[in-house]
Structure 1
Amino acid sequence: MEIGMMTLGALGTNCYLVYGEKKTGILIDPADSGDTIIQCIKAEGVDVKYIVLTHGHFDHIGALRQVKEFTGAQIAIHEKDAYRLPRADREAALFGMPCEAQPRADVLLHDGDGLKVDDLLFRVLFTPGHTEGSICLLGGKALFTGDTLFCGNVGRTDLPGGSLPWLETSLARLAALEGNYAVYPGHGDVTNLDAERRQNPAFMA
């Protein structure tokens, strides 16, 4: 599995291009700067089948329309966050940030769903807390955590749809995963699950 990481937009959101040996893959969280994302897709020669959104906040979906038009990929998001896509412009305006309304989802995700692309299988983990429809995506030894888990920190829960009790339950689920995984968060540095179990205050509470 190959993973290309781009940090995009004013809020420094991480976008991931993930693909297998046959150069077929997924794009996770097309945050902003659609031209940059498309240039990366072209440079790697990847056929993107799914655009997977870890949640529906505007800073993770700003280039969604442009990337979908270029790739023809299906948009996949948890059913509980799908309502956010066509109203991304209104949410962004509350923060004084630009973002257009985004296309509706093609695929509504649920806990335990699998996405098979090339020789890769990704499993959906429903991890509400940052939003009511946040997910993590588990593929091989990689865990894409969106704004649920960061290096040394966790996502905020004080925005509409957020819940600290839900987040605590979701973090307990991640902590209980067997083995170690590379953690690719929605913001900040790549880490690993063992390090977060040892050092992240949220896991040590």
Structure 2
Amino acid sequence: MNENNIILKAVLITHSHSDHTDLAERFAESRDVSIFMSSTEIDTYKIILMNLKRVEHQKKIVLGDFVVTPLITPGHTMGSTCYLIENNLFSGDTAFIEGVGICHPNDTEKLYLSIQFLKLKLAETTMFWPGHSFGKSPGKELSYLLRNNVYFQLEKKNILLNSEIGK
């Protein structure tokens, strides 16, 4: 960040798994910034972090010159959150370019509904920036996911409910 003159305004956490939270407090302390996470995630998993602030579904937050819209997308975790900034969606483990994040079998319907919500809410030109890559480079448009990600092609939730996801 120093080498590229990047000024950190905040830490946006998509969910509470340690591979997404490990450095949050370090950044919050060293850069004196807030950490944002969904209220559902905080309450469900009893999250305690320095400078932690709650976000709610579609309630915009302003960070410097950026307007951030949190989209609560349960399934991977109870309070999984995607963050929409302009035409960019930071999807964490809700949606990857190649698939979706693993979920408990009892949460497959939540994940299905979250993906359906993203399909309806976002423009097809929205760029996806997932928390992980499994071969395909990040930064693909929703239109790409609609053509190439099987979970974005499902139209009936019973197909997902009977699939192997999360098992």
TM class by shorter chain equals 0.7 to 0.9
Q: Report Cα offsets for 1:104-129 as digits up to 9, x if no partner.
A: 55211100121212322111111111
Residue 150 (structure 2) aligns with = 201
The yes-or-no answer on 1:49 pairing with 2:33 is no
Calculate percent identity across the aligned residue pairs: 26
Uncovered stretches (5+) of structure 2, i.e. residues with no partner: 155-167
Residue pair 1:115, 1:123 contacting (<8 A) in 2 also: yes
Deviations 1:7-49 (A, max 9, x none): xxxxxxxxxxxxxxxxxxxxxxxxxxxxxxxxxx212223322
- Which residue in the other structure is 1:109 paired with? 55
**TM-score of the two chains, using structure 1 as the length reference:** 0.67
What SS class does the counterpart of residue 125 from structure 2 fall into? coil
Distance 1:104 1:71, change over 3 A: closer
User: Across the two proteins, how many residue pairs are aligned to each other?
Assistant: 148
Q: Give the TM-score normalised by the residue count of structure 2.
A: 0.81
Opposite residue 118 of structure 1, the aligned amino acid is G
The CA deviation string for residues 165-194 of structure 1, in whole angstroms up to 9 with x for no partner, is: 000000001111233111000100312211
- 1:203 is displaced (CA, Å) by 1.5
Runs (5+) with no aligned partner, structure 1: 1-40, 87-101
Within the candidate set 31, 34, 42, 1:74 is matched to 34
**What SS is found at the alignment partner of 2:62?**
strand
Q: CA RMSD in A?
A: 1.9
State the shift of 1:66 in Å. Answer: 1.5
Structure in which a larger fraction of residues adopt strand: 1
1:128 aligns with 2:74: yes
Q: In structure 2, do the counterparts of structure 1 residues 67 and 49 end up closer, same or farther at CA, with 3 Å as the change threshold?
A: same
1:29-44 → structure 2 map (5 Å cutoff): 41-44=1-4
Helix, strand or coil for the counterpart of 1:55? coil
Q: Partners in 1 of 2:52 and 2:24 — Cα distance?
A: 12
Give per-residue Cα distances to partners, 1:69-112, cap 9 Å, x unaligned.
111111110011115475xxxxxxxxxxxxxxx62552111001
Deviation at 1:50, TM superposition (A): 1.4
AA in 2 matched with 1:115: I
| Whole-angstrom distance in 1 between the partners of 2:75 and 2:81 | 10
Corresponding position of 1:141? 87
Matched, 1:165 2:109: yes
CA distance 1:105–1:70, change in 2 (3 Å): closer
1:63: which partner in 2? 23
